[in-house]
Chain A
Amino acid sequence: MCDAKKGKSRLNKGLYNICTGAVLSLPHMPDGPVYRINTPQVIHQTIDGEVVVINLDTGTYFSLTESAQTIWSVLEGGAGKEEVIAILEKNYSGVAGEIESHVTKFFDELIAEKLIVPSQPAEIKSNPIADSVNLGSKVPFVPPALKKFTDMQELLLLDPVHEVDATGWPQANPPGAHAK
């Protein structure tokens, strides 16, 4: 049993350095577009370095580990792509340009899955993680991956959304609605 199962919580309590647990501060605002996690439609939990993300709107869910988890932890406070790239380059070793291209691709995936959305400037007051993430010595860069699961989307077919008409409420069942 790991430490957390002996009573120490492994859950992210908020914005913190993923290694040291220290609360960190953002010294400057990023130059480019800033993104935030698309709450409340997107919910997420981090346990032992793995993030589990659920998009409540689409029924898809995701697992993020390694560099993907690092990126997600930075995005929890709101961050731009350039800022994320700088943090990864500081903490991971890799071929020049490799990190940037993979982060760009990963951001595109997160945006396409509606897991992150552009932030209004007023929404980003400070990011206590941001460029202070420190993994100690540099570790080999493994491209971030968004492991996607779609097997629960069928549950959304039971979506309770229902329209009202003059015949009363709820309406009669559509034919075949009980096929389950």
Chain B
Amino acid sequence: MKSMPRAGRRQILPALMPSNDLIQRPPGLAKDSTKSQAARNYSRMAADAFARAAVLAGVEERFYDIGDSTIALRFAGKALQPIVTPALEHLSSLHHAPDLRIELADRSSLGETLPRPTSATSVPLANLSYTDGEISAVVQRDLNTLNLFDAKNNHGYFWANDVASLPWYEAGFPLRLMFHLWFRRREQFFVHAAAVGNENGAALIVGKGGSGKSTTALACLEAGLAYLGDDYSLVKAEPEPRVWSLYCSAKVTDETLVRFPQLARFLKRRGTDVEKHLLFFDQKISMKKSLPVRAVLWPRITGRVESKLIPASAATLLLALAPSSILQLPGAGAADFQMLAKLLCRVPTYILEAGTDMAKLAATVKNCLE
């Protein structure tokens, strides 16, 4: 078995003093911007806490080419690494000059929770999410995690209070909000969509959970199409519609594993509370990092054997793509909506009547790429 390249991995660094970019922050915002100043103050406190965690637990840094960016993940301690890195392994990079650096720490690396915001800093942060364009902060309540993003310094901070309590599915799609906060500034958008393709380009497969995105993507993977993702992808509308792979994972049900038994070899993490599991693909399957988008499909499971494509309006596909993407992402709004509409205006859009014959389903998708 060939393992994925590990070019991005570095040995654990000795516990050094925190780097300057962690402790020297830019000047505060305008004096009349109380909330922005408070957010900056909290950001500075949090950065200091991450620096302490790095000193206490040691640092390991990995590099990834994601979208149009090289991103460094700088782990304080080891606890978060098995949660964050497996789904990004296919994007490991040899480039060590990152556009974005994300610090990752948890309570075990710091030995305590993050400092509590003082009354001076809690003004904007008591109600999260918060953004002033420069500092963005989002607490994911269901995960008990903090995403703090400093756009001016191209620096992100991801905190998990308790790694052991993170839900099983988090390893499949890590750092979603951090990627969203970073890439939307580069006019790339984190979307709730699967993507598969070939040398001609990619089909983006949209729809809410349970609509058939994963099944369609896995059927295509089995039929030899390249895999870019089964649940989340990164897209851009201009200058041409384009999709990037984010995660080499797939969230599947027991039923899916029965339908695609040969994929069971990729099963790495079983769900704990539901009958869903995570697959992590490696070089044994065809994966692409990026392709031009040639069609957008909205699957509808019919129960019939045959599959077919029915031309649909871009507005219909916008209904399937935009709400399920935008409503998951704090801070997403009108500009993101417009970008998704632009993308859908520029490529053929279809309802995919997804039949029960997986080979025919994949052939139908392949047809729209010809």
Contacts and interface: CB of A to CB of B under 8 A. Distances in A.
Interface stretch (B31-39, B108-116, B218-226, B255-263): B108-116
B333 A40 contact: yes
Given A45-B338, A169-B117, A161 B141 contact: yes
B345 interface: yes
Nearest to B313: A48
Contact of A61 (B159, B167, B323): B323
A56 B333 contact: yes
B198 interface: no
Interface stretch (B6-14, B91-99, B126-134, B352-360): B126-134
A173 B346 contact: no
Interface string A130-174: 000000000000000000010110011011111111111111110
Contact of B327 (A40, A50, A156): A156
Given A10-B345, A155-B327, A160 B113 contact: no
Contacts of B127: 161-163
Contacts of B140: 158, 160
B322 A54 contact: yes
Interface residues of A, number: 47
Contacts of B315: 47-48, 50-52, 63
A9 B117 CA distance: 47
A162 B141 contact: yes
Contacts of A23: none
A177 B337 contact: no
Nearest to B129: A160
B327 A166 contact: no
A129 to B, nearest CB: 19
B81 interface: no
A122 interface: no
A163 to B, nearest CB: 6
> Which of B122, B314, B338, B348 has most A Cβ within 10 Å?
B314
B347 A160 contact: no
Contacts of B316: 50
B327 A177 contact: no
Contacts of A39: 334
Contacts of A162: 127-128, 139, 141
Contacts of A43: 326, 333-334, 337
Given A52-B322, A169-B116, A178-B273, A5 B141 contact: no
Interface residues of B, number: 54
Given A11-B345, A45-B341, A178 B167 contact: yes
Contacts of B322: 45, 52, 54, 61
Interface in A16-71: 39-40, 43-45, 47-48, 50-52, 54, 56, 59, 61, 63
Contacts of B323: 54, 59, 61, 149, 152
Interface in B101-127: 112-117, 122, 125-127
A39 B324 CA distance: 19
B344 A152 contact: no
Contact of B341 (A11, A56, A159, A165): A11
B142 A170 contact: no
A172 B208 contact: no
A1 interface: yes
What 4 A-B pairs have minimum CB-CB distances, sorted nearest first? Answer: A168-B113, A50-B315, A162-B139, A45-B341
26 contacts: A10-B345, A11-B342, A11-B345, A40-B333, A43-B326, A45-B318, A52-B315, A54-B327, A61-B322, A152-B327, A155-B324, A160-B128, A160-B129, A160-B138, A160-B139, A161-B129, A164-B116, A166-B116, A170-B114, A170-B159, A171-B144, A173-B141, A177-B142, A178-B142, A179-B273, A180-B169
